[in-house]
């Protein structure tokens, strides 16, 4: 099968959520013997030099990067207030990207064109004109729900009003775009169920997958556990959650556990964190090897208040046999069993108590971490996930009699 993937950012290097989710699909399809071609938006915020992509990866994927300036333009953002268009989506519309897509589709025929995230949906019209390929939207999130939650947590009235406007126009575009494709591959069951309320097209849940053998379990804990968080801080829900934890949860945690230290790793640490100067927060920043960092720590605290889709860093921590303490929002999309393979702490008091309990009883963390690793092996093995995706492709093929739930 020949598959063209349109990506809203480069899938390589796979160092944060979106690229990691894209790359797991790419590597899985290649391993299954399919032909892959990748076109990716290359922006100032998520820029990659083609020369930095390994030659072997370039040959296998035929990856081409198209420069698109996604920087927010205040004047355009202001003018957009007087339209019904989604400013989030409008920024991804590029004549250069359209020209490259046209060139590729005129040279080669594909069985499937997969849109990696909603922001590639503006190119459906071009695909329809030049190709008979099935079009699949790989929905990493219910995008507008992220912004609705952020708006709800925003206190400043003017900013909340503007974010609500962005969420409204994004929702209108997102729900209308569902009917323009042939199938939707949501990343979680919850997202898939939501899309089914608004769309008549075939929908399936295809979660993020890993190769368990690439993640060495480290469930043993010596002494008191070390608490950590790893994630890119230029994703607004991450920064929002960490700020809430530092401002609201940390003081109460230190009252119960005076020796508590929260080790923070990830790209693009904001200035308010790098200048925090708090002995209970260790701001490390970007690390050369995420697996090494996770192996050196014991319990992940993921205090997410907003967002959609699946938390890839949670799956990877679980794959390494780590206990994860998170909110219900953080655990959305993960087929967890509460207190068996994950700890859910829905509010400040519960999070403080969960940290105190784990700190005083590290054997609990070891038990939960081992169960988390088992869940990943049984449910999130990428080979199983790719098989499910290929079955979905067969279902939406014209004339197919395959049913899929």
Helix/strand/coil (H, E, C) string of 173-213? Answer: HHHHHHHHCCEEEECCHHHHHHHHCCCCCCEEECCCCECHH
Bond preceding residue 16 cis, omega within 30 of 0: no
What is the mean predicted confidence (pLDDT) over 110-124? 97
- Which pLDDT score is estimated for 159? 87
Higher pLDDT: 85 or 112? It is: 112
What is the mean predicted confidence (pLDDT) over 194-223? 94
- Which pLDDT score is estimated for 309? 66
Average pLDDT, the chain: 93
Asked if the model's pLDDT at residue 400 lies above 80, the reply is: no
What is the mean predicted confidence (pLDDT) over 158-167? 90
Q: Which CATH architecture has domain 2-209+381-396?
A: 3-Layer(aba) Sandwich (3.40)
Q: Which CATH architecture has domain 213-379?
A: 3-Layer(aba) Sandwich (3.40)
Confidence of residue 5 (pLDDT cuts 50, 70, 90): very high
% of the chain at pLDDT higher than 70: 98
Looking at the chain, the domain(s) classified CATH 3.40.50.2000 span 2-209+381-396, 213-379
Taking CA atoms, 156 is separated from 44, 73, 79, 159, 163, in Å, by: 29, 21, 21, 6, 11
Contact by Cβ (8 Å): 341, 371: yes
């Amino acid at each position: 099968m020949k598959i063209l993937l349109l990506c809203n950012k480069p899938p390589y290097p796979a160092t944060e959520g979106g690229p990691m989710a894209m790359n797991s699909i790419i590597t899985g399809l290649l391993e299954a013997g399919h032909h892959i071609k990748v076109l990716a938006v290359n922006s100032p915020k998520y820029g990659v030099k083609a020369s930095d992509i390994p030659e072997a990866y370039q040959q296998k994927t035929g990856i081409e990067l198209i420069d698109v300036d996604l920087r927010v333009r205040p004047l355009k953002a202001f003018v957009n207030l007087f339209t019904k268009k989604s400013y989030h989506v409008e920024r991804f519309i590029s004549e250069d990207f359209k020209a490259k897509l046209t060139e590729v589709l005129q040279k080669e025929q594909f069985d499937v064109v997969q849109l990696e995230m909603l922001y590639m949906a503006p190119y459906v019209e071009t695909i329809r004109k030049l190709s008979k390929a099935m079009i699949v939207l790989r929905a990493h999130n219910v995008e507008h729900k992220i912004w609705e939650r952020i708006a709800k947590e925003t206190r400043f009235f003017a900013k909340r009003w503007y974010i609500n406007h962005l969420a409204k126009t994004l929702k209108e575009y997102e729900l209308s775009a569902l009917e323009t494709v042939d199938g939707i591959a949501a990343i979680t069951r919850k997202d898939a169920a939501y899309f089914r309320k608004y769309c008549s097209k075939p929908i399936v849940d295809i979660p993020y997958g890993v190769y368990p053998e690439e993640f060495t379990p480290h469930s043993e804990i010596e002494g008191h556990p070390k608490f950590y968080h790893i994630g890119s801080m230029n994703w607004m829900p991450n920064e929002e959650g960490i700020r809430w934890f530092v401002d609201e949860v940390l003081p109460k945690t230190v009252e119960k556990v005076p020796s508590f230290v929260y080790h923070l790793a990830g790209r693009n640490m904001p200035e308010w964190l790098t200048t925090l100067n708090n002995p209970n927060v260790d701001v490390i920043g970007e690390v050369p090897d995420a697996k090494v960092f996770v192996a050196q720590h014991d319990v992940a605290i993921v205090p997410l208040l907003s967002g959609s889709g699946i938390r890839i860093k949670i799956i990877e921590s679980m794959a390494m046999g780590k206990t994860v303490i998170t909110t219900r929002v953080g655990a959305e999309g993960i087929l967890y069993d509460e207190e068996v393979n994950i700890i859910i702490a829905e509010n400040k008091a519960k999070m403080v108590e969960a940290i105190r309990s784990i700190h005083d009883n590290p054997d609990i963390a070891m038990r939960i971490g081992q169960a988390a690793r088992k869940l990943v092996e049984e449910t999130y093995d990428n080979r199983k996930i790719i098989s499910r995706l290929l079955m979905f492709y067969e279902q939406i093929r014209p004339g197919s009699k395959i049913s899929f739930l």
